[in-house]
Structure 1
Amino acid sequence: MRDAIVSVLSSKPRGASVTEIHGAVRELLGTATASSVRSYLRLNSDSLFLRRDRGVYTIRETSAEAYGLKARPQPPLRSFVFGRTKLIEGDCFEWLGEQSENSIHAVVTDPPYGLVEYSPQQQEKLHKGKGGVWRIPPAFDGAKRSPLPRFTVLSPQDLDALARFFLNWGRALLPVLVPGANVVVASNPLLSYVVSGALARAGLERRGEIVRLVMTMRGGDRPKHAHKEFSGVSVMPRSMWEPWILFRKPIEGRVQDNLRKWKTGGLRRIGEDQPFCDVIRSSPTRGTERDIAPHPSLKPQAFMRQIVRASLPLGEGVILDPFMG
């Protein structure tokens, strides 16, 4: 109970009502009565929690620090401005907690899934080129390919942690979005259901899924250490697509009313006679683009331009990518 309440309030810097806390705790624990949540908050209002208003609680800063949920004081955020773009160095959860409500018109992002593969133990195995989560793909046409993490090895506990991360992120994101704001999140076929469920529980509406048709090097492999014995078997299908989950903050009234007031609520059409479609043909990121930005999961600009353009139905507003690093 304690850890669940602390986890919920750590993602709500403005505080939350007992009803909100109870609903979130019940999602985390499966079962929890409103009376038990209310009693725990009251009994610990002097140590763990701070009652800011009638029935509204926040987590005390000392408690957040003790649980490792609040970072130590950091120097002022560094930012870089280029044209109409602003890049900010900082923690996205902390930054979201400091933003004004209804200030972001769309989110387009490729979030981290590094629960296991970036731990010190797995990084050591990666550098040795043997064992662990990372798969070292064979060279193709003489070109050395980048290592790929195997998401199939994630344990139930890892998946629960992933769900909690996106649940907390969705809750932190919701207040700063304007009604009708689109949220487009890159994922993969093995984990998209976890991310989608968490964002729906956070209060966002699922609006579909955008399919990026692209040949990848994931899947299609023969059984490990038994390639010759089972040469006609693939453990998994070769992945030929990438899911981009589409969500939206609930609109106010009708779509036309929301468009007039907030400039959001739909997707920008490709042309007068052509709507935006949920399947986009793409290709792997070109080497010239990787030379500019050698990120391990870099997406091609030709694809990203289509997604970003569609996210603002009237071509107006602020687009946020909280995981640019």
Structure 2
Amino acid sequence: MNIQAKQIPLSDFTGDYRTVHIGRSQLVHADAFEWLSQLPPESVDGMVFDPPYGVKEYELDQIEMMLSGGPGIWRLPPSFDGSQRAPLPRFTALNPEERTTLHRFFRDFAVAALPALKPGAHIFMASNSFLSQLVFSAMIDGGFEFRTEIIRLVQTLRGGDRPKLGEEEYPDVCSLPRGGYEPWGLFRKPMPPKMTVRECLRIYGTGGLRRRSDGNPFCDVIDSERTPKREKEIAPHPSLKPQSLLRQLVRAVLPLGKGVVVDPFMGSGSTVAAAEAVGYKCVGVERYDDYFEMATKAVPRLITVKAAAKSSHVVSVEQAAFCV
């Protein structure tokens, strides 16, 4: 495990930005694109993040329609276990221009992130079934290798609706299947030509994924849960992912268990908390004041959350041997 690449001190990740230190990690108040442009080349060992998809659904006119119960891209999901649900955006309502804007955003992000990552470094990026094909292709256009999808098995409450304004006329029809999974894209910065994974591990400490603590491979299907209420109370972010999921992803992204994980769209800091919980260094970057302040308070509490991974649902003896 002799890593020849120089490990960059965390102080090189802060620049002149406001920074809060928590454990081994740092929270940086900055715009992700600007921050990435100032990093030392080949300084980041991996990334885990849930990027912004708010191309349209958070515009003022759309929020006003959502609050008033009017039309637009927002919908009320079906009730579940008797509790009231918040409105969700209709990603399928994006027009061609908005989809082009979304593609450009992720292509530009890929171009900005590539120089900062070490060769062979991996990225885990959250998405959804409506947009994954668009944003994943944008990351490829920006220079990343697409490795696979990580399927998070979770009841998403997306889809399953009867046709809008036709609920009574077509009671036996649903416009989309009810969502039962969340796709995460797994990408890798290309290794130098003809370099093997073994050589990349030796030189950069990257190139592969860390196996599970029981010695079995990291699997591409993760039986998950919706974010527990106790975690939402700590960090009331609209797209908060559970610690039980994030700790598995964060652990896997550093194949040798060494280096720095980055979340360029930190939000409430859940990725930083997951990294701290598994003993990694992490840098979380957030541009919005409210979310940055939320993270400074939420991360120390999320670190202490007891979050055991669920047992995987398997369909064969072979899968059971590797994924349970």
Q: TM over 0.5, yes or no?
A: yes
- Structure 2 Cα separation of the partners of residues 173 and 183 of structure 1: 10
- Cα drift, residue 137 of structure 1: 2.6
TM value normalised by structure 2? 0.75
Q: Does 1:177 align with 2:117?
A: yes
Q: 2:209 — aligned with what?
A: 267
- Cα drift, residue 105 of structure 1: 0.4
> Deviations for 1:197-253, whole angstroms, at most 9, x for unmatched residues?
111111111110100000111000111111121111110000100000000001231
Q: 1:94 — aligned with what?
A: 34
SS of alignment partner, residue 197 of structure 1: helix
CA gap 1:143/1:85 in 2 versus in 1, 3 angstroms: same
Q: Structure 2, unaligned stretches of length 5 or more?
A: 1-14, 268-324
SS of alignment partner, residue 67 of structure 2: helix
Q: Does 1:161 align with 2:91?
A: no
- Structure 2 Cα separation of the partners of residues 271 and 112 of structure 1: 31
- Structure 1 Cα separation of the partners of residues 217 and 44 of structure 2: 24
> Deviations for 1:126-181, whole angstroms, at most 9, x for unmatched residues?
22222211112344333221211010100011110000000100000000000010
SS of alignment partner, residue 104 of structure 2: helix
Q: Does 1:249 align with 2:212?
A: no
Aligned length: 251
| Aligned pair partner of 1:297 in 226, 239, 252 | 239
- Structure 2 Cα separation of the partners of residues 261 and 131 of structure 1: 55
- Structure 2 Cα separation of the partners of residues 77 and 131 of structure 1: 41
Q: How many percent of aligned residue pairs carry the same amino acid?
A: 51
SS of alignment partner, residue 179 of structure 1: strand
Question: Which segment is superposed worse, 267-276 or 185-194?
Answer: 267-276
- Cα drift, residue 269 of structure 1: 0.6
> Deviations for 1:244-265, whole angstroms, at most 9, x for unmatched residues?
0000001231111110111110
| Aligned pair partner of 2:200 in 255, 258, 266 | 258
For 2:198, the aligned partner's letter is Q
Runs of 4+ in 1 over 4 A off after TM superposition: none
**Quick check: 2:78–2:157 contact (8 Å CA) kept in 1?**
no
CA gap 1:138/1:255 in 2 versus in 1, 3 angstroms: closer
- Structure 1 Cα separation of the partners of residues 215 and 259 of structure 2: 24
Query: What are the residue-to-residue correspondences of 1:64-213 with 2, within 5 Å?
Result: 77-213=17-153
Q: 2:281 — aligned with what?
A: none
**Higher RCO by CA contacts (8 Å cutoff, separation 6 or greater):** 2
Q: Structure 1, unaligned stretches of length 5 or more?
A: 1-74
Q: Does 1:310 align with 2:252?
A: yes
SS of alignment partner, residue 222 of structure 1: coil
For 2:32, the aligned partner's letter is C
- Structure 1 Cα separation of the partners of residues 75 and 151 of structure 2: 25
In our comparison, the structure showing a higher alpha carbon Rg is 1
For 1:307, the aligned partner's letter is L
SS of alignment partner, residue 115 of structure 2: helix
- Structure 1 Cα separation of the partners of residues 59 and 23 of structure 2: 36
For 1:134, the aligned partner's letter is W
| Aligned pair partner of 2:230 in 288, 301, 320 | 288
